[in-house]
Amino acid sequence: MRSIVVAVAAGIAVALAGPGRAAERGVQEIQDCARKNLPERTARQDLSLLVRDGAGQEQLIEAELFWKRGDDGRSRVLVRVEAPPDLRGAAFLFVEREGDSDMFSYLPELKKVRRITGRTISGSLFGTDFSYEDIARLQSLGAQAKVEKLADAQVAGRATWVLTAPIPPEAGSKYQRVVTFVDQETCVPLKTELMEGPEQVRKEVVIPPEHVKAEGSRFIPREIFARDLEGSSETRMRVEKIQLDVSLSDSFFSEAALTKGR
C-alpha cells in the first residue's frame, strides 16, 4: 500500500538523515525523515501477496503497484491484479488529499468503478488482510493530525521511535488509534498496530528488518506481513521487482483509467 503499501512499500519506507541525534528527534523530525525515502517522483513494483486464512488455506495474488508523488507532494497509488485469472483486471486507486482521501475499486465482472466510502472502507482489498482503510491509514502516516511521540521501544531487537495518532469517532472507523514503531537506524516503520480499543490490537503490519533493502540512498521494505489478530489470518506481501522514477502520467491515476487496464 504508506509501502503498503510498499508504495505501500515505497510509501512507508524512509531514510534516516544521520544516526547521531536519533534519540532526540521529535514528531516533526521523524515525519520529515520518513518522507526522505520516497522516490523523487514515481515507483513501479511487481508484488506477490500470499493470503493464508485461519484454516490454513492459501491463495497467491500477483499484482502491479504504481506510485506517484503529485505536485502537491501527496501520494497517488494504483494497484492492478495480474493473477489468479478470476481476479485479473481488478484494480484499486488511492489519491491522497488534504482531509479525506479518494479511493476507488474496479472489478471486471461488474464492469463498474466503485467509490470506497465510510460504509465500505473496512472491506478487504482483493481478499487480503489489508482493508481499504488500512491502506489509507498507512499511506497517510506522516499527515495524520495530533500525532504524539511515546517512549522508545524495541522491535525485533532494534531501537524504534513510537508514534501514536488517535482516530476521531466521527471518522466512522472501527479503529481508535494507530501506533507506529519507526526504526531509528533506517526510519522504516517496523511495526504498525491498528487498535480497536485502548489496549486491543486488531491488526498489525510488520516489516522484518532483514527484509529492508537499500536502494541507493533509500531503504525499501521487500516483505511486509499484515495480520488480523481476531481472524487469525495473515497476508505476506513481497516486492518481487521495483523500478524508481519511471514515467507515469497524471491521467494514469484517474477513476476513468481503472477500467482501461494497461
Give the Cα separation of 60 and 78 in Å (integer).
19
Other CB atoms within 10 Å distance of the CB of residue 56:
8
How many CA atoms within 13 Å lie on the side-chain side of 12? Answer: 33
Contact between 80 and 89 (Cβ < 8 Å):
yes
Using 50, 70 and 90 to split pLDDT, how confident is the model at 87?
A: very high
The reported pTM is 0.82
pLDDT, one tens digit per residue, over 176-213 is 999 999 999 888 899 999 999 888 999 999 999 999 98
pLDDT for position 89: 93
Angle in degrees, CA 221, 182, 225, rounded to 5 = 45
For the chain, what are the domain ranges? 3-145+211-223+234-259
CB environment 157-178: b (16+ within 10 A), e (fewer): eeebbbbbbbbeeeeebebbbb
Q: What's the rounded mean pLDDT across residues 145-172?
A: 89
Q: Tell whether domain 3-145+211-223+234-259 is in CATH 2.50.20.10.
A: yes
pLDDT for position 71: 84
